[in-house]
Amino acid sequence: MAINRIKPLTFKYLKPAGKEQLIPDGGNLYVRIRSISDGGAISFRFFYRFEGKQKWLTLESTELPAARNERDDCKELVKQGKDPSIERTLKKGRVRQQQLDEQEALAKRQARVTVNDLFIRWRDTDLINRKDKAEIIRMFNKDVLPVLGDLFVEDVRKGHITQVTDPLLVRGVAHLARNILKLIRQMFRFAVDRDVIEFDPTASLSITKTTTKPTERDRILSEIEIRALARQLPDAGFMKSTECAVWIALSTMCRIGELSKAKFSDIDLELKTWTIPEANSKNGKAHTIYLSDFALAQFRTLKEYATHDVWLFPNRGNTSHVCEKSITKQVGGRQSENILSNRSKNNQALVLAGGKWTPHDLRRSGATIMGDLGVAPDVIEKCLNHTEENKVKRIYQRQKMELEQAQAWRVLGGRLNLLVNTDASNIVLLHKLN
C-alpha cells in the first residue's frame, strides 16, 4: 500500500475517501483512515523494524496526543531490544492474570468462614446424633465461641486455642479444659476434612501438656461412708427429688445423665421396672432395670413429690428435664474445699471421710457392693449396661441374664436397706475404708 506523504493536518477534519488512507504524523506514526466502504474508521499505526523485519503495530490510543505518547513508548521498547507487539501481548496477559488473581482473592474473602460459622456446620453435621450435643453446645457457647467465634478459621493459631484453655486452668477445671481442647480439635479436623482449611491449628498442641493428664477415677464409697451419707443427706439442703436421685443412682447403678432425662412413663411401679430408652442410654441400647424394694421406694417418693407430669426431674421452667450436670453440681457444691465459702450454707454437708465423691462414683460403688455380695462379674456388667469389649462375645453371646440381673439388684437393694435403715451395731461391714 502506497504511503501518501502530506503536510500536517488538523486531524479532526480528516474524512474517509473511496480507498484507505495512511497519513504520516512523523516519527513513524501514521493515521489510518478506512475507506468509506469499510466504514471509514480512524486508527493510529506505528511502523518499526525489529530483528531485520518491517512491522506495523495498530496502537490502542484513539486520540492523536495519546497516540504520539504511545508511539514514543514503543520506540523506547525497540531501543531496549523488545518487540512492542510481543510486549503488548505479555502486558495483556499480566493484566488478565492480575484480574484473575484479584477475582480469586475476592472470592476467598467472600467465602471466608468464621469459627462461629464452622461451629454451626459442625454442630448440624457431626454432632447431630451425639447424645452429649446439648452439653457440647453449652460448653462452646460459654467458653469457646466468646474467644474464637469472630475469628476467621484460617487465621486461628494455637495461641488462640490456649486463650480458651488457659483461663480454664486458672479456674481450676483442668479436666474441663482437656475435654474442650479435644472437642475443638474434633471441630478443626472436621474443617480439614471439608477443605475449609488446610491445616488443623490444634495439631501441634499436646493435650496433656496444654491441659492435664487423663485420670481414671476409682473412688468407691465404703459402707461406712454410705451410712454416713444417710445421716448427712437430709441436712444437705436438697430438694426431696435430689435426695432420691442419690439413692436411685446407688441402688440402680445408672448413669446420672440417664436418670436426669427419665420420664414417669419409663417407670412401671407395678412391674417394678425402669426402662431406659436407647435415646437416653450412653451406648445407644435400651436398658431395663429391675427395681429392688429399696429403689422402688425412691421412685414412689419422687411420684409423691412430683411437680411435673412427664419428667422425674424437671427444669426450672418445667419445659424439659434438668441439665445432665445439675445433680452432679449440687452434690459437688456440698463438698466445697473452701470452708468459708458463702456459695452455700451447706457447702460441707456431704463431705465424707474418703474424700470428694460424685454421683458417678455411686455407680461404681453399687457395682462393688454387688461383687462383694457374690454377684458374678458378667451379671454386674449387664446391670451396668456396658458394651462387651470382646467382639466375638458381643456378636455371638446375646443372652440378657434378666433373672440374674433382677436378683443382683435385689441383693444390692437389700444391702443398702440394711446399711441405711438398720442400727449399725447389727451390721457386719463388707467393704471398709482403705
Domain 115-210 fold: DNA polymerase; domain 1 (1.10.150)
Residue 216 has what pLDDT? 65
pLDDT of residue 121: 94
The answer to whether the beta carbons of residues 282 and 255 sit under 8 Å apart is yes
**Predicted local confidence at residue 109, as pLDDT:** 61
The SS3 assignment for 73 reads helix
- pLDDT above 80 for 136: yes
Give buried/exposed letters for 226-247 (b at 16+ CB in 10 A, else e): bbbbeebbeebebeebbbbbbb
Answer whether residue 379 shows pLDDT above 70. Answer: yes
Task: Answer whether residue 119 shows pLDDT above 50.
Answer: yes
| Domain range list for the chain | 11-89, 115-210, 223-426
Residue 256 pLDDT > 90: yes
On the question of pLDDT at 199 being above 80, the answer is: yes
- HSE-up (13 A, CA, CB side) for residue 61: 19
Per-residue confidence (pLDDT) for residue 260, from 0 to 100: 94
Set of cell numbers at residue 200: 488443623
Let me know if domain 223-426 sits in CATH 1.10.443.10.
yes
Q: How does residue 365 score in pLDDT terms, banded at 50, 70 and 90? A: very high
Residue 389 has pLDDT above 70, yes or no: no
Q: How far is CA 376 from CA 255, 370, 412, in A?
A: 21, 8, 13
Q: Is the pLDDT of residue 3 over 70?
A: no
C-beta contacts of 38-46 below 8 A and 24+ residues apart = 40/15, 40/16, 42/11, 42/14, 44/70, 44/71, 46/70, 46/71, 46/74, 46/84
C-alpha to C-alpha distance for 145 and 137, rounded to whole angstroms: 10
Say whether 223-426 and 11-89 share the same fold: no
Looking at this protein, which amino acid is placed at residue 424?
A
Alpha-carbon distance 96 to 167, whole Å?
Answer: 50
pLDDT exceeds 60 at position 432:
no
The arithmetic mean of pLDDT across residues 162-189, rounded, is 93
pLDDT of residue 101: 83
Distance (Å, rounded) from C-alpha 357 to C-alpha 396?
37
Return mean pLDDT, the chain: 87
**Gap between the Cα atoms of 243 and 280, Å rounded:** 22
Confidence tier at 100 by pLDDT (50, 70, 90): confident
User: Is the pLDDT score of 146 beyond 80?
Assistant: yes
| CATH no. for 11-89 | 3.30.160.390
Predicted local confidence at residue 2, as pLDDT: 44
Q: Over range 101-123, report the average pLDDT.
A: 82
pLDDT digits (tens, 9 = 90+) for 51-87: 889 999 999 998 888 999 999 999 999 999 999 999 9
Q: Where are the beta strands (DSSP E) in 37-131?
A: 42-50, 53-58
Which pLDDT belongs to residue 217? 72
Higher pLDDT, 1 or 139: 139
User: Per-residue confidence at 244, pLDDT binned at 50, 70, 90?
Assistant: very high
Q: Is 339 helix (H, G, I), strand (E, B) or coil?
A: coil
